[in-house]
C-alpha cells in the first residue's frame, strides 16, 4: 500500500521522538512491502520562530493531503508567556479542529516488567488494561475566553451532538472488549456535565443495550484510578477531565513516555502522538523515551491505514524490547542500565526486522 504521512516534530523532545516514530514506520514499510512517504512540517514554537504562526497554512495543507499525521510535541519556556498573543498550544488546538478529530483514544496497559516503575503497589497493577476516550474538540479549551485587569473567564460549552458522537465511539470500543463503559463527569456542579450524563445514558440505553454503564464524578474517578485501576475497561469523558485523568493514569504504566494516543474523527485520517509534552528540561540530551511515539505509530497503522498485522508487529516488538530489559531513564530503576533515545529505537528495529 502507498500512504502519505505528515510528520510534525514540534518542540523540545518532539523532534527526537518523532525521528524514532518515522524510523519505525519506514522499517514497517520495508518489511511488509509498503510505500510510505513521510513529509515533515512545522508546528508549535518551531513554527512561531519560522512563520510567526503555530500552525502555518502549509502545514494545514500537508496534513489535509495526508492519510495520517504523526506529531512529536509542542511548547516550551521560550514561548510560555501566558500573555503572548501567539503560543505553541494554539497550533495543536487548531490542528485538531482543522482535521475534525473529535475522539482521543488513550490505551493504558501495564507491561509486567515495568510494574516496579510505577509508584503504585504491584498488586494494584495486575490486569490493568483500559482505554480512555476523551472528547477533543469541545468544552472549556475551545470556549470563548475573556480577560480584563481584574477578572477572566473560560466558557465551557457542549452540544448534544458532540456528546452523542463521542459516546458512540466509546461504546463501540466497549462492545469490542468487555461491554463495560464508565462515563466521567461533574454533574453535581456543572450544567454541561448534567447534559453529558443525560445524553450518555440515552445513547447507551437506546443503542447499546448490552453495555454496562457506570457513572462516576471526576474526583471519584481520579481516586479509583489509583485504588482500583483494574476495574476500568473503557472510560469516556469530556476534554479537560480527559486531559487530566490520562496524565494521572500514565503513572500506572510508570511514565508518560510509555503511552500513545490516537485522535480520530468520522473518516480514516487521524492525528497520532505520545501523551507526554515537550519536556524541555531533557530536550537535546538524547534520553527521551521514544516508546509512546512508537506505540502511536502502531495506532496510526491500525486506525488510519487499516494495517492491523503491521501494528501488532510494532506492539509485539515493544513488548519484547521491555521484556529484554531495554530502558530509558524514565522507566529504569536505580540499578538498571539506561539507553539513549536512538539506542532504544535501534534495539526495537533489530527486533522488528
The partner residues of 238 in beta bridges, in order of sequence, read none
Backbone conformation region of residue 306, classed left if phi is above 0, alpha if psi is from -120 to 50, else beta? left
Residues catalogued as catalytic: 141, 186, 219, 243, 247
260-264 β-sheet, strand order: 35-40, 2-10, 68-73, 270-274, 260-264, 103-109, 129-135, 234-237, 180-185, 212-217
Range list of H helices, the chain: 14-32, 44-51, 57-65, 88-99, 160-176, 191-207, 218-227, 239-253, 291-303, 308-323, 341-352
> What cell does 220 get?
471519584
Are residues 329 and 287 in contact, defined by beta-carbon separation less than 8 angstroms?
yes
Which phi and psi (to 5°) does residue 72 adopt?
-85, -85
> What cell does 191 get?
450544567
Residues 6+ positions from 121 with CB-CB distance below 8 Å: none
Helices (H) and strands (E) in the chain, counts: 11, 12
Amino acid at each position: 500500500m502507498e500512504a502519505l504521512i505528515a510528520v510534525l516534530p514540534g518542540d523540545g523532545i518532539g523532534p527526537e521522538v518523532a525521528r524514532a516514530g518515522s524510523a519505525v514506520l519506514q522499517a514497517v514499510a520495508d518489511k511488509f512491502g509498503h510505500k510510505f512517504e513521510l513529509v515533515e512540517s512545522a508546528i508549535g514554537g518551531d513554527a512561531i520562530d519560522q512563520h510567526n504562526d503555530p500552525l502555518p497554512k502549509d502545514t494545514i495543507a500537508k496534513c489535509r493531503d495526508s492519510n495520517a499525521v504523526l506529531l512529536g510535541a509542542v511548547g516550551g519556556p521560550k514561548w510560555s508567556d501566558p500573555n503572548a498573543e501567539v503560543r505553541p498550544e494554539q497550533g495543536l488546538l487548531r490542528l485538531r479542529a482543522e482535521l475534525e478529530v473529535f475522539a482521543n483514544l488513550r490505551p493504558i496497559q501495564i507491561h509486567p516488567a515495568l510494574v516496579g516503575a510505577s509508584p503504585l503497589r504491584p498488586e494494584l497493577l495486575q490486569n490493568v488494561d483500559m482505554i480512555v476516550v476523551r472528547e477533543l474538540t469541545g468544552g472549556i479549551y475551545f470556549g470563548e475566553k475573556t480577560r480584563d485587569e481584574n477578572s477572566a473567564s473560560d466558557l465551557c460549552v457542549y452540544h448534544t451532538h458532540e456528546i452523542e458522537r463521542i459516546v458512540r465511539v466509546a461504546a463501540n470500543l466497549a462492545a469490542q472488549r468487555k461491554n463495560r463503559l464508565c462515563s466521567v463527569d461533574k454533574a453535581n456542579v456543572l450544567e454541561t456535565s448534567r447534559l453529558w450524563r443525560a445524553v450518555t445514558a440515552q445513547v447507551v440505553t437506546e443503542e447499546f443495550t448490552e453495555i454496562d454503564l457506570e457513572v462516576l464524578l471526576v474526583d471519584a474517578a481520579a481516586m479509583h484510578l489509583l485504588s482500583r485501576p483494574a476495574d476500568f475497561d473503557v472510560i469516556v469523558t469530556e476534554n479537560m477531565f480527559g486531559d487530566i485523568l490520562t496524565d494521572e493514569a500514565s503513572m500506572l504504566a510508570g511514565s508518560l513516555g510509555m503511552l500513545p494516543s490516537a485522535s480520530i474523527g468520522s473518516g480514516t485520517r487521524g492525528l497520532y502522538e505520545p501523551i507526554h509534552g515537550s519536556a524541555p528540561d531533557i530536550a537535546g540530551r538524547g534520553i527521551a523515551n521514544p516508546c509512546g511515539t512508537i506505540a502511536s505509530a502502531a495506532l496510526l497503522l491500525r486506525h488510519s491505514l487499516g494495517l492491523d498485522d503491521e501494528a501488532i508487529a510494532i506492539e509485539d516488538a515493544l513488548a519484547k524490547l521491555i521484556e529484554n530489559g531495554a530502558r530509558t531513564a524514565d522507566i529504569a530503576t536505580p540499578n538498571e542500565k539506561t539507553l539513549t533515545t536512538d539506542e532504544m529505537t535501534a534495539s526495537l528495529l533489530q527486533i522488528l526486522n
